[in-house]
Every structure is written in C-alpha cells, then in structure tokens.
Amino acid sequence: MDYNEFDKHETEKLGEISLDEQVTPVPAEKKRPNKKRHGAGAAVAGMLAAVIVLGGGAGFGGAYLAGRNTAETSVSSAESGNSASDNSGSSTSSGSTVLNEIQKDVSTPVHTATENVEFNSDGTYKYTRDLVSAVQDSIVYIEVFVDYRGKKTLYGSASGIIISKDGYIVTNNHVVEDCDSFTVKVNSTDAKSGVSESKTYDATLCGTDEDTDLAVLKINATGLHAAALGDSDELRLGDDVIAIGNPLGLETSVSKGIVSGLNRQISDSVRGLSSIQTDAAINSGNSGGALFNGYGEVVGVVNEKYVQGYAESLGFAITINEAKDVIDDLISKGYVSGRAVLGITYTPVSEEIASYTGRDAGWTVTEINSDMPVAQSGLVVGDTITEIDGVSVFDENVMEVFTKKKPGDTVKVTVTRYDGFNRRRSVDITVELSESKG
C-alpha cells in the first residue's frame, strides 16, 4: 500500500471527527524561574510528531480521534479496556520511579555547529536552529511491519522519542498496534560538520496502552542522545513550540508554532489524557514524536490532527506530565496498573436492534474470565447487563463508574435473565473488580 492510499484513508477517517469543546479551565500558570544556560547544557526535548491515523493502526499518523468508540459498537471486552479504571495513568503526579531513574542522567548538551549559542533572558533558546541542533538526535524514525503471507511487509512509518541513553523510546499506541515487528533508525550528528550518520536497530515492544495512545519500545543500544522531559503544566497560551518528526518519511522535518490551546479533552476514552493544541504543522508520519518548549524539553507527545475541509492547523499532543505515569508503568509492568475491570466480554445490543430482533437491550455477556473474581459472582454467559451501580449501560457516562473504582472494589450489576421456563426477570449481582493487565 503506498503513501497516497494511506493518506486518503486517513483524511476520510479524520474528517468524521467532531471536536466538541470539552475544555476544562486552565489552572493559573506558575512563572518559570530563569535558568542560567551555558553553551554546554540546555535541556533537551523530544520532537513533536503528529498523528493521522490509519485504519489498521500503523504509524503514518492516526485515525485515533475517529475510531475510539469502535469497540463499543461491536464485540467489546471489559478486560481490554471497555471497563473503566480509577484513572491511573491520567494523573499528573510525579511519583514515577523507573522513568525518574532512566532520566536522571539525561542532560541537554548543546549539539550544534554554532560556537556561541544564545539564550533569551528567560533561558529559552534565542534561535530555533540552535534548539533543533540540540535535540534532533533524540527523535527516531520508526518503521512497523506485519507478517503477510509469510513475508515481513512494511506497514507504516512514524516517529519516536528517545527517553533514556540505553534505548527506551516513547511513541503512540496507534503506531505499533496490530504490527508484528519494528525497526528504529537512530541518528548521530557531528557537532561541527553537521553531518549525520544513522544506525538501524530491531526494537521490542515493552508495553502499549490504547486508552492513552502511548507505547514504549526498547532497542539494544547505549550512549544515545536522550530527550529531557519537561513540565507541561508550565505552558501558557502563545508559548513557542517546535515540532520535529518524519512526515511521509521526510526525516527530521521541523515545524514551529505556538500553544494554541491547553487542557483540550478530545479523546473519546474516559482515560484519555489532556492534550496541547498547536498550530505547528503536523502531518502523517509525525505520530509518536514530541512537542518541544523553548528550553528544548519535551512537553507533549503528538498523536492527533484534525482534518476537515474548513479546518486548518489543528494539531494535538498528549501532555507529558500526564503521560509520565503511563510511560513508567509500560516500562516497569508492560501495562498501566490500577485499572479496574469487570473481566467479561460482551456484545452491546441497542434498543433499536433489540426491538426488531427480540433480544434484550444492553450488554450481552459472551465470555467470562475464569481467572477473575467475576467468575464466582453468579454472572453467567447469556445475561444481559442493563445497569452498573444504577447507571444505564446506554448512559454515555457509564464507563466513568469505573474511573472511581480500584481493583478489589465492587459494583452492583443489574442483568436480565431467563429461567428454565423462559421467564424473564431482573437480577442484581455484586461483582468484585479485577485489575486490567492491558
């Protein structure tokens, strides 16, 4: 499949997206203390990469915006994310342990042919070229492959951010999902000549999370140019930001813009993270890269672009503060911990479908995980769930019931059931929630 075919699909998918304003108030910004910068040390960040999603999920970009509810209109698995969590992975806490450890020796050496790098009075880079020189080698080119008829077949390409010197790389879930293997091209640029050399590595997948559209890859390498992760809470409307990625395979492409919006809630997932809106050019293949602030720090992982005939310059990046805990869990556990799930697979039956098929409207249970407490709850295959803790399964906020719960908590599940005489009755069942393993 060629690039044009992918682009056509992506544009069609993204054109279906409705950007309803679900903007939460932006908290008062803290004034960033001036940083004393020297030619040898300015904080590095990952490069902005944008997403334009494909139907299958490879990383030219991402149809992430358009396809978030797909699972809820087909056979859905509570174990795989159709149950909600206590919002683990969506907090802005700085309690990350593994991530703190691998970032502790990450600095931002100025990587430029210019001898005297200049900074503004607030410590930001004065010239975009110096910022780009300092951080460009922390952005990688990712290719994803599928096994097709016994052959390794290129499925797409995207971007990623090196976050540790020993090869941990952050990208988007939609870049790697449904793919079988991955390669990562790492650049090394000579500071004086500006000549770049590259090396390609096979990568392994550490973990991936569909709800937050984040994933972590690992390559077997040392001494890499890692990006420093900044503080996205310090961003203010109008701040300059830099996007660097690999749109349509054009490696290390740079675009510049401003912060156009903060705290945008544009994901359909109840666990979706807040996004930064920017007018920096975002194109297919930027997915998984980073949005830089003026200090050269990663403040966002770009993953979405709004595409429609009358819309322009609407790109989005996941806030790095909210992404940190997710990244930490994906590295240390391979999944995001603390998410409560029922542990069932179900088929949603709308009231309209029920009216002409004779079935009961609700979530029809098709499978129960025998290794989870739900198996001992009394819930059985064939039951139709109509309410959870008194909230109708047709209520758009039903999944939010789970965001307030933790594994080990219980919910009251109301089901319709037929006895041996085909008599219909309503039954309330108490179910202990389990932890999703991703």
SS3 314: coil
pTM higher than the cut 0.75: no
228 in Cβ contact with 103 (< 8 Å): yes
- pLDDT per residue as tens digits for the range 265-310: 877 666 778 899 999 988 888 999 999 999 999 999 998 887 777 7
- pLDDT per residue as tens digits for the range 174-220: 999 999 999 999 998 887 777 888 999 999 999 999 989 999 999 99
Of residues 245 and 67, which shows the higher confidence score?
245
The separation between CA 174 and the C-alpha centre of its own chain, rounded to angstroms, equals 8
- pLDDT per residue as tens digits for the range 363-403: 999 999 999 999 999 999 999 999 999 999 998 888 888 88
d(CA 414, CA 311): 44
The tally of CA atoms less than 13 A away on the side-chain side of residue 26 is 17
- pLDDT per residue as tens digits for the range 58-102: 333 332 232 222 232 223 333 333 333 333 333 334 556 899 888
Quickly list DSSP for 266-318: --SSTTPPPEEEE-S---TT-TT-EEE-TTS-EEEEEEEE--BTTB-S-EEEE
The confidence score (pLDDT) of residue 136 equals 92
The confidence score (pLDDT) of residue 232 equals 94
214 in Cβ contact with 326 (< 8 Å): yes
d(CA 248, CA 7): 9
Q: Which of the residues are catalytic?
A: 174, 213, 287
Indicate whether 14 pLDDT > 60: no
67 in Cβ contact with 155 (< 8 Å): no
Eight-state DSSP code of residue 123: S
- Maximum Cα interatomic distance, the chain, rounded to a whole number of Å: 86
Q: In 3D, which of 74, 188, 15, 269 has the Cα closest to residue 7? A: 15
Which residue has 């290390």 as its token pair? Answer: 252
SS3 347: strand
Which residue has 């044009």 as its token pair? Answer: 4
Domains defined for the chain, CATH in brackets? 3-332 (2.40.10.120), 340-435 (2.30.42.10)
Indicate whether 242 pLDDT > 90: yes
Name 276's bridge partners: 317
Burial environment of residue 97 by CB neighbours within 10 A (0 to 12, 13 to 18, 19 or more): exposed
Q: Which two tokens stand for residue 26?
A: 């932006």
Per-position b or e across 156-181, b if 16+ CB within 10 A of its CB: bbbbbbbbbbebbbbbbbbbbbebeb
d(CA 52, CA 11): 8
The confidence score (pLDDT) of residue 179 equals 94
Quickly state the pLDDT bin for 48 (edges 50, 70, 90).
very low
d(CA 336, CA 213): 12
Q: Residue 263 CB: number of other CB atoms within 10 A?
A: 16
- pLDDT per residue as tens digits for the range 333-372: 999 988 889 999 999 999 899 888 888 899 999 999 999 9
Q: Which two tokens stand for residue 42?
A: 């300015």
The amino acid at 226: A
Quote the radius of gyration of the chain (alpha carbons, Å).
Answer: 23
